A and B are shown apart, each in its own frame.
Chain A
Amino acid sequence: MKRFTWFNATSLALGFSFLYLPIVILVIYSFNAGRSVAVWGGWSTRWYGEVFDNEQLLDAAWVTLKVGMLSASVATVLGTMAAIALTRFGRFRGRLLFSGMVYAPLVMPEVITGLSLLLLFVAVDFDRGFWTITLSHITFTMCFVAVVVQSRLVGFDKSLEEAAMDLGCRPVGTFFRITLPIIWPAVVSGWMLAFTLSLDDLVIASFATGPGATTLPMKIYSDVRLGVKPEINAVCTLMIAVVSIAVIAASILTKRQEAEREKAERAAFAAGG
């Protein structure tokens, strides 16, 4: 443990203000009574009320939620399958190519992913809208799920699956009874990551969308171009609240599980024998 010094304190303060000052200002101004976003006019929650009266905004939020849920769920299934194929089936032909191709979207600029998806949808004459956004979100979040699940599978003791088969369990049953319950936390965090990415995405959604399907980030972006209205601040604050609650809940849950596990292990150790 280092002692407190003015240098450390200053760099800590600077670092945190760099990260959080914009967010703090946004949150404070969402409670601004005035119409201007730059001039403080006293405390009020009126913009929150207006958010819930703004049907366009609520529609966009609903679309975003639906796209996020649906695409995260499909991406989790596909990503988990890819991760299992990559870790389990040894060296099949084209494994290297396949694993490279799964990871490529991780580093691909979003503009390129979006544009190529748009070209595809146009080429096959797919009506652009809700479904194309969902499809494109599945495409780009799937690889994130694959990475998360794969990292859990690498440390997985294969003899657990062999033991299940030895005891009379068929391969499919083994996956659902043994493998999936054990890697479940990784699958859940993969889903949460995919959902957050989908919630977040502006670029790919803009390319893949059509008339009638607007996600919340797209709506906010287009509104801001016409001037920042205080109710945007309120919407953003709500989003920050939702994300923070989810992250904090997830970390508390894992911490508690870890603590329980440690406690049980200590008890077993003390019991000995």
Chain B
Amino acid sequence: MAKTLGPVRRKFAPWNDPAAKPLIEFRNVVKRFGDFTAVDDVSLGIYEREFFALLGPSGCGKTTLMRMLAGFEHPSEGAILLAGTDLAGKQPYERPVNMMFQSYALFPHMSVEKNIGFGLVMDKMPKADIEVRVAEMLKLTKLEKFAKRKPHQLSGGQRQRVALARSLAKRPKVLLLDEPLGALDKKLREETQFELMDLQQQLGMTFLIVTHDQEEAMTVADRIAVMDHGKLIQVAGPSEIYEQPNSRYVADFIGDINLIEGRVSGIEGGTIRIEGTSPAVPLVVDDAIATTVGATVWLAVRPEKVRIAHEAPADVSHNAVAGTVWDIAYIGDVSVYHVKLDSGATIRATVANVDRTVERPIGWEDRVWLFWSRSSGVVLTS
């Protein structure tokens, strides 16, 4: 199946198509709890068959946004539309969306099959059809052996699959996943992420996931919305979020970053010259961002794009700086070097450990050069 998924996934980008209409639409949604504004003027469109992630630290409003879509909270201002219809006044039991809860919320007094069939019984589906659908869901989530068990007789991973099967059983237009893998250990979590992606493609449903784990969001989602203090900071695909962050907040929240503050000293076509102030280093960047000479900007360079060597590079007039190795973190696949510059600032460089042994390894307190190409950094104005 993976062979057929690749091209489909690569081409899937309805958000770039001006004629496409979003399935879910948040229009200037505000949610206040007393004096606290949990969601602050959010406008967002999510398209059919999209796997969309809401990412942010705890308390950023991502769960509130999802709960408003499910109908457990109601917007203080603005509107939420699903397939063109305003959801205002619709109760949770009247909405064609289903949610998988962070705590799984399995009914402890019902068996696995009764849990999965609960929503179908509520829909007054004929008994025979319910049996067929439940069997199908059990097969999909590999739970056939556990149909008669009660939730407390299952392991954490099995409970997670029951919760997933139950929320999928009604074939909702949108499946909401609230930190669905938070309670699983790392290995199982990674496996489940790929299972979720396969499932979403197979069923052709729209998935909306809430998570604080950036790796999880990057892995599963077509697009990610990074949130902070109730606002959307950036909405884009995983690679754009990582390579083209629009602010220091996003650059810092997703992955590791080196930030160099400076003043724009010249703009020529697609090249920006920056006089770095902390640390003091002349910078040249190939980036066509709207800015003016004299403006304060930040250059963001990912540690894996910074190269480290004992010898100075050929051209040290820009994008190069010397320092002393302060700390080395050997992680296995990569090593992270913390290099203290003469000005006192620290820059990190990540090196993939391609060979098992190196002739002349970089050690503690070595004098080294750090350098990066003109295209590896991003200029940020906020």
Contacts and interface: CB of A to CB of B under 8 A. Distances in A.
Interface of A: 157, 159-160, 162-170, 173, 178, 181-182, 261, 264-265, 267-269, 271-273
B158 interface: yes
Contacts of B158: 268, 273
B204 interface: no
A14 B67 CA distance: 61
A168 B155 contact: no
Contacts of B355: none
B145 to A, nearest CB: 10
Contact of B119 (A160, A168, A264, A265): A168
B92 A166 contact: yes
B150 A264 contact: yes
Contacts of B253: none
A273 B143 CA distance: 12
Interface stretch (B95-103, B221-229, B241-249): B95-103
Given A165-B92, A167-B122, A168-B119, A264 B153 contact: yes
Q: Which of A173, A182, A271 counts the most B-chain CB atoms under 10 A from its CB?
A: A271
A164 B118 contact: yes
Interface residues of B, number: 31
28 contacts: A157-B103, A157-B105, A159-B102, A159-B105, A162-B92, A162-B101, A164-B107, A164-B118, A165-B71, A165-B92, A165-B93, A166-B70, A166-B167, A167-B93, A167-B167, A169-B118, A170-B93, A173-B122, A261-B152, A264-B152, A264-B153, A267-B153, A268-B149, A268-B152, A268-B154, A268-B155, A268-B158, A273-B158
A170 B124 CA distance: 13
A166 B72 CA distance: 9
A178 B152 contact: no
B155 A167 contact: no
A159 B170 contact: no
Given A159-B105, A273-B155, 20 more contacts: A159-B101, A159-B102, A162-B70, A162-B92, A163-B99, A165-B71, A166-B92, A166-B98, A167-B93, A167-B118, A167-B122, A167-B166, A168-B119, A170-B93, A173-B122, A264-B153, A265-B152, A265-B153, A268-B154, A273-B157
Contacts of B91: 165
